[in-house]
Structure 1
Amino acid sequence: MRVVAVILAGGQGRRMGGVDKATVMLAGRPLFAHVAARIGPQVARLAISANGAALRFAPIPVLPDPPQRRGEGPLAGLLSALDWAAEQGAERLLCVPVDTPFLPHDLVARLSGAGAAAYAASGGRDHPSVALCPVDDRARIAELFASGERRLRAAFPDAAPVEFEGSPDPFTNLNTPEDLAAAAAHLAEATR
């Protein structure tokens, strides 16, 4: 089974002062590089769903939203990623957010074992932005988007949750300067 992945770069981190979260530095590397290092070895190809200057993510390919879907949220990015995944000959697409630097090293294997579509869960919370879906779902998700839906959760109605554990939570989102400081402290402790 050929799996490719997309990092959903989103946009500005409002609670981080409006900066591009993907390029926020953590332990000397931008957040997107931490996520790419976790996910890249688990998949055949990796890309980033983002608008704006693509050079900031080099050498990872960037999938911008087409003009008619620009600014329409994460489901727009997922559709662009599904189109790219189909071009790559992939059977499944993994999507992950750019602000989750502690993703499990066995994420793809565990989600793949749950069935055709699956998403991560931890600590009693669902994480629909960390999901593995069949590329064949493109048409269904495009129809959902055309009907006005923009939430990722709605894209995976039959997906199975897969429970993960870890400290810190492997799906911790870095949304504030305090979150970033805690993540830096964890990484510093882990390298001792």
Structure 2
Amino acid sequence: MKTSAVILAGGRGRRMGGRNKALLTVGSEAFIDRQIRTAAAWTDEVIVVAGEGEFARELRVRYGVAVVPDLYEGEGPLAGVHAGFAAVRNPYVWLLACDQPWADSRAASLLLDRLLREGAAAALPMIGGRPQPFHAVYRSDVGLTAGELLEQGERRMFALLDRISWTGMAEEDFRAAGVPDTFAEDVDTPEDYKGVRLGRDPDIP
């Protein structure tokens, strides 16, 4: 199956005091390093959405990944979806946010299987009964819908879900397949990051 991975790394990290959350670490490894390594084992096309600058140049040199900027600068993750999905060459996309330290390719494979089986435009983890738009798998043409919403002045990710057909996969389904449901956790605040640094590692390979 032809797949790509898109990692959104263009946020300003306001709730983290302006820190680049992609460069936060798990042990000695930055979140973005771990995500690229994990995604590259799942697909041969990894695209990072980030602003131009030293960070983008370093990613290109170190990993040889494509780094693309938002076409709607400052408009949040929906703009990242639009830019990243426009750059992929494959029909299915694993979408990650750079603040998800426990990215797990096994979860991506389960979500892709669910998407294909149900013929939906996206398959999302349902954690605590709530859909998680990141660490989800989408058809790449969803990026066109993101562009239409941005043209209308919309910037909410959940507005995208209102416009596409999607299916959810409950956390117990992941656990039954041996995948810890921690894969969808994100780090928004210093308190969240403290939990990561205390070593809450779900033993993801």
- TM-score, shorter chain, exceeding 0.5: yes
Give TM-score, length-normalised by structure 2. Answer: 0.80
Q: Does 1:12 align with 2:22?
A: no
Distance in 2 of aligned mates of 1:23 and 1:180: 12
Q: Shift of residue 189 of structure 1? A: 8.9
**Do the aligned partners of 1:129 and 1:153 also contact (CA within 8 Å) in 2?**
no
> How many residue pairs align between the two structures?
186
Question: Which 5+ residue runs of structure 1 have no aligned equivalent?
Answer: none
Give the aligned residue type for 1:24.
Answer: L
Distance in 2 of aligned mates of 1:135 and 1:32: 22
Give the aligned residue type for 2:74.
Answer: G
- Aligned counterpart in structure 1 of residue 191 of structure 2, from 172, 178, 184: 178
**Do the aligned partners of 2:4 and 2:94 also contact (CA within 8 Å) in 1?**
yes
Q: Shift of residue 167 of structure 1? A: 5.4
Give the aligned residue type for 1:160.
Answer: T
Equivalent in the alignment of 1:135: 140
Superposition CA RMSD, Å: 2.3
Q: Shift of residue 151 of structure 1? A: 1.7
Q: Does 1:76 align with 2:89?
A: no
Distance in 2 of aligned mates of 1:129 and 1:118: 10
> What SS does the corresponding residue of 2:75 show, helix, strand or coil?
coil
Q: Shift of residue 26 of structure 1? A: 2.7
Distance in 2 of aligned mates of 1:159 and 1:127: 11
- Post-superposition Cα deviations, 1:111-151, rounded to whole Å, max 9, x if no partner, equal 11222321122233321123221123343332222112212
> What SS does the corresponding residue of 2:52 show, helix, strand or coil?
coil
> What SS does the corresponding residue of 2:183 show, helix, strand or coil?
coil
Moved more, 125-134 or 71-80: 125-134
Give TM-score, length-normalised by structure 1. Answer: 0.84
More strand by share: 1
> What SS does the corresponding residue of 1:12 show, helix, strand or coil?
coil
**Do the aligned partners of 1:102 and 1:171 also contact (CA within 8 Å) in 2?**
yes
Equivalent in the alignment of 1:95: 95
Equivalent in the alignment of 1:61: 66
- Post-superposition Cα deviations, 1:70-123, rounded to whole Å, max 9, x if no partner, equal 1111111111111111xx2x0111211101111223122111122232112223
**Do the aligned partners of 2:6 and 2:84 also contact (CA within 8 Å) in 1?**
yes
Question: Which 5+ residue runs of structure 2 have no aligned equivalent?
Answer: none
Q: Does 1:123 align with 2:136?
A: no
Distance in 2 of aligned mates of 1:99 and 1:167: 17
- Aligned counterpart in structure 2 of residue 159 of structure 1, from 160, 166, 170: 166
